Each structure stands twice: as structure tokens, then as C-alpha cells.
Structure 1
Amino acid sequence: MQLSRTEIYLDGRWVRPDGTEQIPVENPVTEEIIAEVPAGTTTDVDRAVTAARAAFDGWAGTGPADRADALERLHDALASRAGALAETISLELGTPQKFATRVQVGLPLTVLKSYVDLARQPTPVETIGNSLVLREPVGVVGAITPWNYPLQQVIAKLAPALTAGCTVVLKPSELTPLVAYQLFDAIEEADLPPGVVNLVTGTGPVVGEALAGHPDVDMVSFTGSTAVGRRISHLAADRIARVTLELGGKSANIILDDADLATAVRAGIANCFINSGQTCTAWTRMLVHRSRYAEALELAADIAAGYQLGDPFEPATRLGPLVSAAQRDRVRGHVERGLADGGRLVTGGPDAPIPERGYFVAPTIIADVSPDSVLAQEEVFGPVLSVMAFDDADQAVAIANNSRYGLAGAVFAGDDERALAVARRIRTGSVEINGGPFNPLAPFGGYKQSGIGRELGVHGLTEFTQLKAVQLRTTRLGESQR
């Protein structure tokens, strides 16, 4: 399997980048360099945007059925590479193979197929009085994606953008760019028209800034940190360009007094530790009714003990490493700060045993965390759970909403109606009640500093469109006027 690459993908071809600098890609388990990819330049971004602009009218004018056929070919090409994609994600991110196969690859395939299905559905005719309301593609999209879900976050932008009739320039994370190359091998096999999708690898300060600020990019879709999202918003605002932002989270899992405690704690830990805690929606704050608090901590410690650290290709491994040394050090710093601020270590922590090599952090649970502390307020992005007690539902909601973020969350209660009543009061973009499964067709996004806009399903599709009202001389509209 080829890992190192020397080219970028522009206008339907693999071409040499403008510069010669390469970016090393590290295996976070072995701490070894496993590949290199090009460090793109502002000139490369110009070339990519020019190609996307030239391709836009043709792709926007392509019928929905033809777009659906193209996306289906891409789905099939990706599905045939599923094993290699999962292996690559495990190599560059450290994700255990089971999770890489089921979620890191399986979920984006599901999302892509959902847009094939949406593209095949009849377009509804919307009328208001004598006006025909049309949805048209927004234009050229700059997609800037993170390292933690390196295929899913690309597909969550690429699939709806292409379905809507937009063209795309992609900048994947420089930490996990290898799977993007396999995606573009599939794009080439699927025979998408030249210029419809383009790839420029590189760093955020160079390629990301150039793409977000490019005068010919109509929309920037970004997933990543709130700090970078703020910068992208400023760059886009200078030219009144549209942005969608999927940013950080500090989600709360509220466990009420009558909840099935074992189920709630087990689900909460699984969600917090998913992808080694490198998930924006992770329920990193567990709020437990005071009458069940001690019991919950005992359960949590027992459950966390079952999360074995190790090589992602070993079947027993449940937690891989963090993506980089910098990320490991950042997470360790949060743990040390949380303990210094009065948190009580339940399990894990800085002195827990970890593999000798690799950027590992032991699964860590800290109790008695103050809702106003740094650990309770800042996104950690590692396998670290903060546990807090509450006395009633009002206090639980107040703690959950005491955050600049609002991306996800959960409520566990004795019945769904009680859980739903609390869920409605939480200021967050999505809430699971009593273990309701993730729905890839439902809108995904956040309140407050967790972002702007929504991804997935029909709501994700509309983000890549703009509205046009056509005023007609008659209010009698028929199918011929679609």
C-alpha cells in the first residue's frame, strides 16, 4: 500500500505542487515517520480554486440523477477500499481496527449513500403566492477538515456539496492526510468531471488561510477548534462569504436519580473514551444525582479498567494513542491542572502505567470537579472524564448549560418523558436520551461557540444551497415550471 505521495489533485489530474517541501506523517503508536505528503502553497490553492470555478457551471447544470450516479460510483469505489482505508486510519491516527472499520470507514460510507438516496428523490416545488422558490448551489466550497475523523469529516462536507451542485477544494489535516489520498484515488476511479473536486494538502497557516480568504471561494466549511473557526470566520467575513463551522464541545451526560445507573455510566464512559477521547461530541462531563454519586464512581472505575491501551492492530486494544506528542502533552496538562484545582483522582492519571512507546494517555476519571474549573470548561480531547454531583434537575441543567459550548449531550432517567423534559432545557445541538443511537440523517451541529450551521441529511444539504425567488405573473404553478 502506497503511503507517501508527491502530488496534489487538480482539475481531474494528479499534478506536481508549486513547491517542493514535504510534510512528514507520523505513526502515533511507533513514533516513526511513515510517509510524506506535499506542503501546498498559496499558488496551489489558486490553481485549485480556478479549476473548481471553471467546473462549477457544468456541475451545477448536471441533473440530480446524474449527480446521484456519480456519487454512487464514488461510494462503490470507496467501499471496495474499505479494508485499506481502515488500515491507513489506524496507521496515521492510531485508531483500533474494530472502530476504524465500523465507524471511521463505515459511517462515511453510510453518509455518502444517504446523499445518493437524497439526490434521487424528486425535488419538491415550493411556492409562496405568485413566487416560485428555488434552491441553487452556493458555488465553490473550501472544505477544511480535522484529523480526528479524517474520512468522515470529509464526506460530511463533500457529499452534500456535490449533491447540491457545488464544486470543492479540500484541505485535509496535515496530521492525517493519507486517507484523503485514498479518497481521491476513488474519486478518480469514479470518473467525476475534472475540477469538481480538488485536493491541496498543507498546513493551516498557509493552505487553510489561503483557502478561507480566497476571493473566488463562495463558502468555507470548517471542522476543528473554536479558535481556528473564529479566524476562518474573520477571513470569510472580509468578503461576505458564507461559513459553516463545526467546532468544539464540552458535552454533559446527566444521570438522574431514577436512571438505570449501570447502563448510564457504561454508555457515558464509552462515549467519553470513543476514539481515545478525540471526539468533539464526547460526553466529557458526567453529572450524577448526589444519591447515586458514590455508586456511579465505583462503577466508572470498574468499567474504565476494561479499556486496554495498545497497538490498534491488536484485537484486545480498546484505546489507541493520541494523535501526536503535542496532543498527549496537552491532555496530560489538563489532567494535572484538574487535580491541582481540587479534583479527586478515581482512576488513571499521570502516573498510571502506559505502553513505553506511543503517545498514550491512560483512561482517566476525576471526581469532585468544580463546574467552573478549567477541566470542566475547556475541551480536553483525550480519554478524561470529569464527574460532578447535583441535587436536582434544575441544578443539573444549570451545570450542563454552564459552558461556552453546546454541541451534544445526554440524559438518562427512569422514563423517556422525564429525560426528554430535561433534554429540551439543555442548550446544545443534539441530545441522546436513555441511549438513543446516533442518527446520521439527523442535523448535526452546535449552539454557542460550538459552531454555525448543520451537517448530515437534508439539513446538511441545504447549507450548500442559496434561495432564489422567481416572481411569476400567475399563482397557478405546475410541474412544467420546476
Structure 2
Amino acid sequence: MNELKKYQMYINGEWSDSSSGEYFESYNPATEEAWCQVAKGNAEDVERAVQAAHQAFLSSGWANMTFTERGRLVRRLGELIAEHSEGLAKVESLDNGKLIREMRGQVNYLPEFFYYYAGLADKIHGRTLPIDKKEMFAFTSKEPLGVIAAITPWNSPLYLTTLKLAPALVAGNTIVIKPSEVSSASLLELVKLVEEAGFPPGVVNVVTGFGMPVGDTLTSHPLVRRVAFTGGSESARHIVQNSAQNFAQVTLELGGKSPNIVFEDANPDNAAMGIIAGIFGASGQSCVAGSRAFLHVDIYDEVMKKLVDRVSKIKIGDPFLDDTEMGPLATKAQLERVEKFVAIGLDEGGKLVIGGQRPKHLDKGWYFEPTIFEHSDNLSRITKEEIFGPVLSVIPFKDEEEVIQLANSTDYGLAAGIWVSDIGKAHRVAKAIRAGIVWVNTYRSISPIAAIGGSGLSGYGREGGYEAIHDYMQDKVVWVNTSSDPIPDPFIMR
């Protein structure tokens, strides 16, 4: 048996084992076999990383760089990612089971995020204040926060780390990243490029391991000024509680139960393809997955037929084959969760239209068939709870008012899709839907220029877009007394 590849953690510009010397195994979801080992961090390793980041923030060359110089480094990192995109894509595909062709497209686009934020680096500025005291001149300046804790999930580690890393660095912060224990390898490969780009030691650090103790220690550390988290709601609750100890700012990008709404005047072919992309892309393991499809009764049968026809032809298998259309789920636990919810759907009276089981032609791997349920209402658990797998609930509706009520009958508020020709209706419904992202006649489109984020159980704050860079900064107000007159008696109010 070949010896498994070993990944160390990266602290203060050096690769090192954990303080305990322990490692844990990471598994290939397509084969269910361990393919690498990752350093198992602990509280001592978090302390080393945070202290390194803090010292780099205060006294390294990083602290004295201009915004323009930092922007050049961030751009260089983007260029290196472009040069090494194939290798990064392969490692992430191996580690979490995503299709290699999807990962190629995603990693090839990641440099655009670094270029975008690098371009903003020398456009960060404060403003002068029209103070109501003649002798005073006052202005604001933008300053970095300090040490950032980034907690990233297993479904898209490179992309979701990029959303945090690029703006945090351009703003002048230092960062400690804790990737998911399920898929740490691709991020560790990316950090090799951080080193090659020329970032000073301590600016970027990665501590690998489990939520307890690594994530818990990191998010409650007194030197951490901001926590940027993407993941599940239970972990998010712990992070919010931890932030009460260090008063760190928190951004939570959580899950969703996103509606895809098809009106009677929609293009049925486009709507069907959009729904399929929204729920079966990445095997449904996406926070913006369109897991609820609302079809107008006048177009219901036509769109449902197109959905079933195409879903029945989805090729499930090895994610490294270019003709594979759907790969495995990332973990055995996730596969079991999907199976549990399918059983719940059947028990609650949902009509299973297609799928609902593991593929019979595959004898290994955490695969599950693309699955469609029909429901008469929006009241069952599988129409309300996030499954994070390839399970679609389809529900009919009669009019605009009804579907808005149905779409908003959820504790989540992340994304929504609207398929319609009537532009007025598109604007009305987009405004009425409670979601941070609304796509009209498209789904899952992303750009560094457009932020993502939601409300309710989908979290709070935004990642991406222009404003994100300001979330990693704070305002300082400077007062200058321009008068040459003596300072008056301090007990006389000015």
C-alpha cells in the first residue's frame, strides 16, 4: 500500500506538524478510501498562529506597506492561482468529490476575485467632515482591523476562502484560516502560492483540525478582531457565543432553502435547465441550492416532464471523467443525511417522482441519485429544512401573491430564482422575495463585483463586492486644531 501524502499546517511562514504530532485522514468520496493525512491541530497551534498573525500585523513589513504595495501582492497571488489552476482543481476534486470540469471552471475564475480586490487597493480612502467648529479640521481614515479568523466549509473551500482572503489582505489585515477537516488539502496547496507570491511570514496562517478545539479556540481568541464563517447553523451559533468573549465582528454565510419560481410565461426549456443546475450542480451541496421549485399550474406538467426527462439522463460517476455530470456527496454522513430526508419525505406523503436511492451501477463511493419529490404544499420537513444534497421539492402555485407567500414561508433567506417574461412581474417578485440574492432567468451566477449573503437562518453580513473590503476595515476620525489662539480654560465648554 502506498504511503499517504502528508499535509502540514502553515504558521508564521513555515510548514510544521501540529504540537501533538498527530494527523488525521482525509477521504476520497468517490472511492471511500483515505488519500492523504492532515496535521491535527490543537489550541496550542491556534495560539502560535494568532500570535504570528498579530505580530505580522503590528511590526512586520506588511504593517508598513502602502495599499498599492499590498494590492500588487494580492494580484500576484491571483496570477499564481491562474498558473496552477489545474493542480488546484484536481486536489479539490479528489478531496471533496466535485466534478473536475466544474472545478476547472471555478478555479480558472478565482483569479478574477484577487484582481478585483487588488484593483480596489489604492481606491480606499476616508473623507473630510464638515465640522461645525471653524477652527477645527476633521477627517476620517480607513484602517485594517487586525487578525481575521476565517472558517471555511468542505463544499467549495477554494472559492469560499477567496471571498474572505482577498478583501482581508487588501485591507491590510492578517489572517488565520481554519479549513474544514473534511477538505483541507486544496487550501493548503493554495497557501504554497501565498508563500511564492512574497507575503511576509505571519500574514497568512492555516491551522488544520477539528471544530473542537481549533475552531472554538480561534473564534474566541482575544486577539481576533473579525470572524468570517461559512458553514452550518449549529456551528454558527457557537461562533456567535464565542464572539461575546472577544467582541469580534462576525459575518455568517450559512445555508438556504432557496425557491426557484417558474411563471406561466417563462421559457420552459430555460426554466427546467435552470432548476436542474440550481439543485443538482455540485450534487446539491451548495448554500444557494434551489431546492424548492414552484411551478405555475398552467406550465406545471410541461416543465415537470422536461425536468424528469433530463434528470433521468444525468450521468453519475467518477468526478474525474469529463463526461460525468454528477459526482458523489462529500462525506458518508452527508449521504446518510440525504437518505434520512428522503425517508421523511415519503413518510410525510411526498410523491417520489424519480431517484431516491444510491445508484445501482456503482458499488463504492458516497453517491446518491438526483431526486425529485412532488408536494401539494410547502409544509413538510423536506420543503422546509436544508438537506444539502440532490433532492428537489416541486410545488404548484396559481398566482403571484400565492407564490410570494410560499417562497417566503421559510426561516432562510439566502437566494431565489425567478423565471418569467413579464419584466414588471420580475421586478415586483424580486422585491417581494426575502432573499439576499435574486436571479432572474438565470441561476448560480457569481462575480467578484456582486456580494453574496442572506438573512434569518442564512446568516448575516455580505461577502464579495465592493463593500466587503470596508467590512475588513474601521474608521478613524482625526481632529486638527488649526487655530493659533491659546487653548481656553477647559472648564468652559467650546
- TM-score with structure 1 setting the length: 0.95
Instruction: Give a deviation string over 1:344-382, Cα, whole Å, max 9, x none.
Output: 111111275351110001001111153121101111111
Aligned AA (2:115):
K
Equivalent residues of 2:151, 2:215 under 8 A apart: yes
Cα 1:351–1:16, aligned 2, differ >3 Å: closer, same or farther? Answer: closer
Equivalent residues of 1:284, 1:385 under 8 A apart: yes
Cα 1:32–1:132, aligned 2, differ >3 Å: closer, same or farther? Answer: same
SS at match of 1:250: coil
- Counterpart CA distance in 2 for 1:89 and 1:432 is 27
Q: Does 1:416 align with 2:426?
A: no
Cα 1:153–1:3, aligned 2, differ >3 Å: closer, same or farther? Answer: farther
- Counterpart CA distance in 2 for 1:40 and 1:173 is 12
| 1:158 paired residue number | 165
- Cα deviation for residue 290 of structure 1 reads 1.5
| 1:112 paired residue number | 114
- Cα deviation for residue 92 of structure 1 reads 0.8
Aligned AA (1:73):
R
Equivalent residues of 1:336, 1:350 under 8 A apart: no
Instruction: Give a deviation string over 1:146-201, Cα, whole Å, max 9, x none.
Output: 00001111111111100111100011111111111111111111120011001110
Equivalent residues of 2:149, 2:219 under 8 A apart: yes
- Cα deviation for residue 127 of structure 1 reads 2.9
Aligned AA (2:102):
F
- Cα deviation for residue 240 of structure 1 reads 1.6
SS at match of 1:424: helix
- Cα deviation for residue 15 of structure 1 reads 2.2
Aligned AA (1:15):
S
- Cα deviation for residue 133 of structure 1 reads 2.5
Aligned AA (1:211):
L
| 2:218 paired residue number | 211
SS at match of 1:230: helix
Q: Does 1:65 align with 2:62?
A: no
| 1:451 paired residue number | 459
Which structure 2 residues correspond to residues 334-349 of structure 1 after superposition, within 5 A?
Answer: 334-349=341-356
Which structure 2 residues correspond to residues 48-447 of structure 1 after superposition, within 5 A?
Answer: 48-57=49-58, 58=60, 59-103=62-106, 105-120=107-122, 122-130=123-131, 131-350=138-357, 353-368=360-375, 370-435=377-442, 437-447=445-455
- Computed over aligned residues only, the root mean square deviation of the Cα atoms, in angstroms, reads 1.8
Give the total of aligned pairs: 473
Q: Which is worse superposed, 369-378 or 57-66?
A: 57-66
- Counterpart CA distance in 1 for 2:271 and 2:249 is 39
- Counterpart CA distance in 2 for 1:469 and 1:415 is 49
Aligned AA (2:345):
G
Equivalent residues of 2:79, 2:111 under 8 A apart: no
Instruction: Give a deviation string over 1:62-120, Cα, whole Å, max 9, x none.
Output: 211110111122122222211111111111111111101002x1232221221122224
- Counterpart CA distance in 1 for 2:423 and 2:38 is 49
- Counterpart CA distance in 2 for 1:4 and 1:72 is 30
Instruction: Give a deviation string over 1:318-354, Cα, whole Å, max 9, x none.
Output: 1000001111010111111112111111111127535
Cα 1:460–1:143, aligned 2, differ >3 Å: closer, same or farther? Answer: same
SS at match of 1:5: strand
- Cα deviation for residue 297 of structure 1 reads 1.3
- TM-score with structure 2 setting the length: 0.92
Ranges in structure 1 where 5+ consecutive residues have no aligned partner: 476-482
- Counterpart CA distance in 2 for 1:154 and 1:381 is 19
Equivalent residues of 2:253, 2:458 under 8 A apart: yes
SS at match of 1:470: strand
SS at match of 2:269: helix
Aligned AA (1:439):
S
- Counterpart CA distance in 2 for 1:264 and 1:224 is 28
SS at match of 1:328: helix
Equivalent residues of 1:420, 1:433 under 8 A apart: no
Equivalent residues of 2:222, 2:245 under 8 A apart: no
Cα 1:257–1:168, aligned 2, differ >3 Å: closer, same or farther? Answer: same
Ranges in structure 2 where 5+ consecutive residues have no aligned partner: 132-137, 484-494
Larger Rg over CA atoms: 2
- Counterpart CA distance in 1 for 2:4 and 2:402 is 51
Q: Does 1:31 align with 2:32?
A: yes
SS at match of 1:409: strand
SS at match of 2:299: helix
Cα 1:354–1:272, aligned 2, differ >3 Å: closer, same or farther? Answer: farther
Find 2:469's aligned residue among 454, 461, 464. 461
- Counterpart CA distance in 2 for 1:441 and 1:5 is 36
- Counterpart CA distance in 2 for 1:383 and 1:60 is 46
Cα 1:32–1:351, aligned 2, differ >3 Å: closer, same or farther? Answer: closer
- Cα deviation for residue 468 of structure 1 reads 2.1
Question: Percent identity of the aligned residues?
Answer: 39
- Cα deviation for residue 60 of structure 1 reads 4.0
| 1:46 paired residue number | 47
Aligned AA (1:30):
T
Cα 1:264–1:60, aligned 2, differ >3 Å: closer, same or farther? Answer: farther
SS at match of 1:280: coil
- Cα deviation for residue 61 of structure 1 reads 3.5
Aligned AA (1:107):
Y
Equivalent residues of 2:124, 2:142 under 8 A apart: no
| 1:470 paired residue number | 478
